[in-house]
Amino acid sequence: MKLSEAEIKIQRLANIPFKDYLNPDVFKDAMLKLNKGKTGQLLELTIGLQLSNTTLDFEDGELKTNKCNRFGVPLETMFITQTSSMIDELLSRKNFFQTKLYKKLQRILYVPISKDGDTSEWMYLPCIQVDLSQPLYTELAKQLEEDYYNICDQLNSQLQVSSTATLHTANGKFIQIRTKDSKPYHAIYSNIYKREISDKNRAFYFKKEFMKYITKLNC
């Protein structure tokens, strides 16, 4: 499915409680998926999006959903991608525009989901398409690039403290790296440092500031 196709379908459903257009059995299943954080499966139920294990959710971009209140204020950070497979690229400051991270950021459909009140009132809010190649997002693209290199430098600084130093949270203005793992934990090994540098897996996340910024930009 093309990103623009999904955008049209979701915009038609914006501000309408799920219960108003899902039959009772599907609604119950959908709310169960939302409670478990399975928003991708919810989108399968509501717009027919078939998710797979490919790098991008759409043919031409990435889907990002996030919990918010009924006014669109983000209530959580938003997952971007795991870092274990690219850790040495980060530590070597690989060109931002050649990274998996940039591919994930380049074109996004951001779908806020209001979970205010009873589950019967949960709904999609109007979605936002972010295309870093467009003039509207020039400053955002520059900031994300700056954040990327800043985070790369923070990671190296953390590991250079001692021969046993490990990674911890690294922040930019709009993105961050922090732990994302569950037992059994998955340690991260660096070929550059020739040792384990984290006892848990880590991931890039959008900070709430990112969602607030793109929402304000599109008002």
10-residue block means of pLDDT along the chain (219 residues)? 90 92 80 70 75 71 91 95 96 97 96 87 94 98 99 98 97 97 89 97 97 95
Q: Which domain holds residue 132?
A: 3-217
CATH number at residue 166: 3.40.600.10
Question: What is the per-residue pLDDT for 118?
Answer: 83
Number of independent structural domains in the chain: 1
pLDDT tens digits, 142-163? 999 999 999 999 999 999 999 9
Amino acid occupying residue 50:
Q
Q: Note the maximum CA span of the chain.
A: 58
pLDDT confidence of residue 37: 66
Question: What is the per-residue pLDDT for 54?
Answer: 64
Rounded to two decimals, the pTM is: 0.91
Q: What are the E-state strand segments in the chain? A: 62-68, 78-82, 107-114, 123-124, 128-131, 170-171, 175-179, 188-190, 195-198, 202-206
In this prediction, residue 26 carries a pLDDT of 78
